[in-house]
Structure 1
Amino acid sequence: MNTNNIPPKNTNKKGILLVNLGSPKSTSVADVKDYLDEFLMDERVIDYRWIGRALLVQGIILKTRPAKSAEAYKTVWTDQGSPLIVITEQIKTKLQKLVDVPVEIGMRYAEPSIETGIQKLVDQGISEIVLFPLYPQYAMSTTETVIEKAESVRKKKFPDVKINYIQPFYNREDYVNCLAESIREKLPTHFDALQFSYHGVPERHLYKTDPSNTCKIDDANCINSQVETHNAYCYRHQCYKTTELVIEKLGIPKEKVIVSFQSRLGKDKWVEPYTDETFESIPKKGIKNIAVVCPAFVSDCLETLEEISVEGKEEFLHAGGESFHYIPCLNDEDQWINVVKTLCEEKLNQFYLV
């Protein structure tokens, strides 16, 4: 058989996989239940032993929460589907116009899965993938679980594929500039405080991810730490550092800035202060007009569109607040897409150095 006219297989093609949290397939209670089951049974989200996690999630939470969550999803669902999936697709589309390698998306939970995203790239002849967990700050329940899942899928299904992972970018100057400018453009003329609401994590997660085993969750030691090996895995430090760098760019005095943490689950102690309690308490301190931004998310989703801009607003106004202004995530803003491009290209170039 003459194979002279058959081009050699390209075994060194590169591609990009953007990974976000995920979303139910629809707003039906059944689909929401399936999604919550996969999400909450992740040992890096609820880090109990399997039997304890199963008793909590499948024995208690999934008995009542899916119906309530389904109603919440209905308030943010778009004609195109889940806002998180839609926005991630928009990021992909814009990024694809700026890079000369294939771009796909994957979700940590539900579809399109990480495996689906890798498969689409492999089907295009890709053997080297830059995987971008779309989380600015590191946490067990975000960056870590994405990397662990991707490595599990790679070893089982795609052993010949190489993956370069983009690390948290919470303190990158280009990202900080992008976030600061996005906030500046959307800030109301008058506000008493700018509140940075980050997703919550149990305090024990901070201890588990601390390589030095010295974490005390102490304001001075944690927030102002200069130990890079410690900071690389400290979610709380990274949240406060993002806030510090952004308000410096904005020129907003520290006394007008609030940091809080949302979305806690169960009775365990989570990182404080809690966002909902803050909304309820600050009007009594004379803070009647606030703007709120959620920098743990790059794409608007249930946790921002419903939990903050709807529920949070109601809590704040009911407690005596006068005006509540939610500042959207970076979503598919052009400056953010350029940051995504830069981060991806840095990792694509590293393949050449191996």
Structure 2
Amino acid sequence: MKGVLLVNLGSPDSPTAKDVKPYLDEFLMDGRVIDVPPLLRNLLVRGIILQTRPKKSAKAYSKIWWEEGSPLIVISERFTKKLRLQTELPIALGMRYGSGSIKEGLEELADQNVEEVLLVPMYPHYAMSSYETVVVKAMEEQQAHFPKMKLTTMPAFYRSPEYIKVLSESIAEGLKDFEYDHILFSYHGIPERHIRKSDPTKFHCKIDGSCCSINSVAHHTCYRHQCYDTTELVKAHLGLPEEKVSSSFQSRLAGDPWLKPYTDYEFERFPKEGKKRLVVITPAFVSDCLETLEEIAMEGKEQFEEAGGEDYKHIPCLNDSDAWVTLMAKWIHEWEREEKLPI
């Protein structure tokens, strides 16, 4: 029997420092998130970051926490519930970090006699700290606990025409009745070295503004290229003016060069250039979470207005929209019939 495992990022169990700390520990101790030697990572995370970050992060989570729980978890569960209504295959939901683990998701499928699983990392783009770590963790759990189970992984779907159509239509709906000066596509940030580490050729990626436009096998695992490609595809689909659209990267850590331009710098720059009515889109995520709801929708708005901005709008992620659920169901049906995957 076939089945599907959806995997999203995960969340603390509650917006308290007590629950945030173990979640951050698991997340930041992942070698694909902080890719330094284990001893140094242990010192950095447990000796420094976890001494102060849990309280600060808990405060941020409390600002966006819903009555039903973590927005990312609630949205993921709603999406899964809707998806189950559109396919007869068993569908489980797992999280890379925190409660509701990948192992638990695989166990749920195994209990339903599933022998072949479509693994769906809920990320449109390939990055070692998001998509790749989900795939590696799922394979580790499968080999250790479910050796007879076969895993097939859905590719990063950022340039699927069907996905771009659904994303574009969602954005178009958000743009209705809003006169904007600029649209910013803000993507999750990663260290520049992750781009080079993910380059299978070991020579293509230079992060110099030109390598992303030169066709290469490296683009299959190049997060930077895939983000800029998403912006261009949506821009073309919607016919957006070239001069009114740009991309940036958010959520960096101090000490290392991360992908540029930085989103918070853009918030300060735009009003000075007369761009005082801003729309922000966060297409690195399919589900709204701390980064989109607190960092962009709240803090971003405050930064923009303090810099002189006048009107600010954050367009939500696809979340559990009917069009997005229907598209995922279509992809699952195609895999079930052994026709194709989205890319």
TM range (shorter): over 0.9
The structure 1 residue matched to 2:196, chosen from 201, 204, 207, is 207
Structure 1 unaligned spans of 5+: 1-12
SS of 1:270's equivalent? coil
User: Is residue 342 of structure 1 aligned with residue 304 of structure 2?
Assistant: no
What is the one-letter code of the residue matched to 1:347? W
SS of 2:207's equivalent? coil
User: Is residue 177 of structure 1 aligned with residue 195 of structure 2?
Assistant: no
1:212, distance to aligned residue in structure 2 (A): 1.1
User: Is residue 221 of structure 1 aligned with residue 211 of structure 2?
Assistant: yes
User: Is residue 195 of structure 1 aligned with residue 184 of structure 2?
Assistant: yes
Q: Which residue of 2 aligns with 1:99?
A: 87
1:266, distance to aligned residue in structure 2 (A): 2.7
Q: Which residue of 2 aligns with 1:56?
A: 44
SS of 1:232's equivalent? helix
Q: Which residue of 1 aligns with 2:133?
A: 145
The 5 A counterparts of 1:107-146 are 107-146=95-134
TM-superposition CA deviations, 1:2-26 (whole Å, max 9, x none): xxxxxxxxxxx11111100000011
What is the distance in 1 between the residues matched to 2:334 and 2:31? 31
TM-score by length of 1: 0.94
What is the one-letter code of the residue matched to 2:198? T
1:351, distance to aligned residue in structure 2 (A): 9.4
What is the distance in 1 between the residues matched to 2:231 and 2:157? 13
TM-superposition CA deviations, 1:178-210 (whole Å, max 9, x none): 000000001143000010000000000000000
What is the distance in 1 between the residues matched to 2:226 and 2:219? 7
Q: Which residue of 1 aligns with 2:152?
A: 164
What is the distance in 2 between the residues matched to 1:252 and 1:45? 34
What is the distance in 2 between the residues matched to 1:50 and 1:303? 26
The 5 A counterparts of 1:29-108 are 29-108=17-96
The 5 A counterparts of 1:310-349 are 310-349=298-337
Q: Which residue of 2 aligns with 1:7?
A: none
What is the distance in 2 between the residues matched to 1:66 and 1:175? 35
The 5 A counterparts of 1:287-306 are 287-306=275-294
Instruction: Indicate the RMSD between aligned Cα atoms, in angstroms.
Output: 1.2
CA 1:225–1:347 in 2, change beyond 3 Å: closer, same or farther? farther
What is the one-letter code of the residue matched to 1:211? P
What is the distance in 1 between the residues matched to 2:228 and 2:190? 14
Residues 200 and 271, structure 1, Cα contact 8 Å, conserved in 2: yes
The 5 A counterparts of 1:244-323 are 244-323=232-311
What is the one-letter code of the residue matched to 1:28? T
Q: Report the count of equivalent residues.
A: 338
What is the distance in 1 between the residues matched to 2:102 and 2:11? 13
SS of 1:126's equivalent? coil
Whichever of the two has the greater Rg, that structure is: 1
Residues 164 and 347, structure 1, Cα contact 8 Å, conserved in 2: no
What is the distance in 1 between the residues matched to 2:105 and 2:35? 26
SS of 2:337's equivalent? helix
User: Is residue 14 of structure 1 aligned with residue 5 of structure 2?
Assistant: no
What is the distance in 2 between the residues matched to 1:66 and 1:346? 43
What is the one-letter code of the residue matched to 2:15? T
**Is 23-32 or 337-346 further displaced after alignment?**
337-346
Structure 1 segments, 4+ long, off by >4 Å, are: none
TM-score by length of 2: 0.97
1:347, distance to aligned residue in structure 2 (A): 2.8
What is the one-letter code of the residue matched to 2:179? H
**Is 114-123 or 211-220 further displaced after alignment?**
211-220
What is the one-letter code of the residue matched to 1:226? N
What is the one-letter code of the residue matched to 1:169? F
What is the distance in 1 between the residues matched to 2:208 and 2:329? 36
What is the one-letter code of the residue matched to 1:40? L
What is the one-letter code of the residue matched to 1:117? G
Residues 136 and 169, structure 1, Cα contact 8 Å, conserved in 2: yes
What percentage of aligned pairs have identical amino acids? 52
Structure 2 unaligned spans of 5+: none
